[in-house]
Structure formats: C-alpha cells, structure tokens
Amino acid sequence: MGVASLERSSVTPKDLTITPRDRRFGREDRTPRWWHGGNPCLSAFFNCLSATFPKGEAFFVDSVRQYRDQADERLAGEIRAFTTQEVIHSREHLAFNRRAADAGYDLARLEKKVEERLALTRSKPPIVSLAATMALEHFTAILAHELLKNPRHLAGADRASGDLWRWHAVEEIEHKGVAYDTWLAATRDWSRYRRWKVKAMVMLYVTRNFVVDRTAGALELLRQDGITGLRAWLPLMWVMWGRPGLMRKIFANWAKFFLPGFHPWNEDDRALIAGWDSEYDYLKEPPAKRVRTAG
C-alpha cells in the first residue's frame, strides 16, 4: 500500500509529540493496603483498574500493530511511541499490582476475568480487536482527562501511587488518537454508516463489560478486606458515581464518542499534560527517550 495514496482524515494535532517517559514509581516503600487516603472503596476501585492493565495494554498493542502496514509514516511513528508507552505502563502497573499483593490482596480472579474477555475478543476477526482497543483507549483517555483536570480524584493517595496514576494519565492523553487513527486507516473503504454502527456497538459492549467487571472486581477486593453486602455496595457506588464520582464525571465525554465526526483530538487537552511536564521536567531526559512524531 503506497503511503502517498492514504489520505489522512484525522484531526490529530500536527505538532503532537508522544514521549515515553521511562519512570519508576514506588520501588522504595511499601504501599499501604488502603493507599487511597485510607479509603477501602477508592483503593479497591483503582487496584481493580490496575489489575486490568498488564494484560489489557498488551492486547491494545497487539491489536493496533496488526494494522501498522496500513499506517502512513507519521501514524507508524505514533504507533511505535504508543507501543513503548504502553509497555512501560504495564511494567509499572505490574509493580503496583505486586505491591497490592504484598499488602495482602489476591488479584488472580480479577486477572482471570480480563483474560476471559480478551480471549473472546481475540477469537473474532482482528478488526474487532482494533475496534475494542479504540473504544477502550477512548475510555482510558477520558478517565485520564478527568484525573488530571480534577485533583480531587487522587487527593489522599500516597505520593508514589498518585504519581503513577498521573504519569499514566499524561501518556494516555498523549496517545489517545493512535488507536482511533489506526481504525480510520483500517476501515477507510467502509461506508460511514458501517463504521459508525460497528464502533457504537463495540463501545456499548465494552462499556457494559467495563462497568460490570470493574464493579465486581472492586467488590471482590472489598470482600478480601472483610467488607461485604450493602457495607461494600453503597460506599463503592458512592465513590464511583457520587463523589468524587470518576464514572459520573466521564459520562459526557463518553457520550461524545457516538456523535458523527467524533475524534479524540476534537478536544485538544494537552494543556493538562503541559502542567505536568513542567512540574516533573521530563524534557531534560536523554533525547533517545523522546519520540518525535510531528510530520
């Protein structure tokens, strides 16, 4: 496929850079069991999210790379940077998950559920995996946006854990268009209606699974804390959907996915990243660590 023949219908900013920030978090100290401000529900919800990342991000990378021959030069560079970022995220979340295990949690049931979901998706044609990745990457990007925009969500987290989640959020925003642009390239011969229908159906399916599985996973971790029944349910629902209400806060951005003309970069939220970069000064890292994707 000639690169020149591909027309780029994406609105990804021309001056976007995707920068893998090879950092390590929390290796020195033990993480408290209820690291999120002593709140078992918030700790359970984030632990449960983290349990999905190592397997989930490997799946995202595989799904996108299956279509890298469809990508133009610029997107191919973005796919490489996205891959590097996701691989480092998985390393750090594996370490975070080990600290949760050291604090006494058994994540095996949660990880098994993730594997089952991924195995089912992998058994379908590769475009289904790419569509699922595109939908879940939108999910992670809007979670990331909300986490960075509203410090309330990580207020009370221990320093290393809070930094880990903010660092991950920064890079999820940065590469939020990669799976979407790969999907646009892979389905460029499809009708608009077919694209929209598949994308909408897959989003509804992964959203249903996300809400059901993350709720069940958090309840399982609370059960391991000895908190069950309504004593688990009510406060968990409150932190997810009430206050700080991460799930409630992402709803409007989630719904935008279904609008005609949606693209993750219709909202350029790099200002949220800029604040973080100036705080941590990654730009002093060796140039080899920085992957420039601008055309």
- Kindly list the residues in this chain that would bind Fe ion in the complex (CB under 5 A): 86, 89, 172
Min. distance of Cβ 84 from Fe ion in angstroms?
11
Helix ranges restricted to H, 105-260: 108-122, 126-149, 159-174, 178-186, 192-224, 230-237, 246-249, 251-256
Give the C-alpha separation, 32 to 90, whole Å.
Answer: 21
- Nearer of residues 10 and 41 to Fe ion, judged by Cβ: 10
Give the C-alpha separation, 96 to 115, whole Å.
Answer: 19
Q: Report residue 24 as tokens.
A: 């390590």
- Nearer of residues 146 and 172 to Fe ion, judged by Cβ: 172
Q: Report residue 269 as tokens.
A: 């939220």
Give the C-alpha separation, 58 to 103, whole Å.
Answer: 25
All residues at 6 or more sequence positions from 119 whose CB lies less than 8 Å from its CB, including other chains: none
Residue nearest to Fe ion (CB): 89
- Nearer of residues 227 and 272 to Fe ion, judged by Cβ: 272
Residue 262: exposed, middle, or buried by beta-carbon count in 10 A (0-12, 13-18, 19+)? middle
- Nearer of residues 44 and 49 to Fe ion, judged by Cβ: 49
Q: Which residues pair with 18 in a beta bridge?
A: 291
Min. distance of Cβ 171 from Fe ion in angstroms?
6
DSSP-assigned states of every residue in 102-147: HTT---HHHHHHHHHHHHHHHTS-HHHHHHHHHHHHHHHHHHHHHH
Min. distance of Cβ 286 from Fe ion in angstroms?
22
Min. distance of Cβ 54 from Fe ion in angstroms?
10
- Nearer of residues 49 and 236 to Fe ion, judged by Cβ: 49
Min. distance of Cβ 225 from Fe ion in angstroms?
27
Min. distance of Cβ 86 from Fe ion in angstroms?
5
- Nearer of residues 107 and 134 to Fe ion, judged by Cβ: 134
Give the closest residue to 7 by CA, choosing from 64, 65, 70, 67.
70
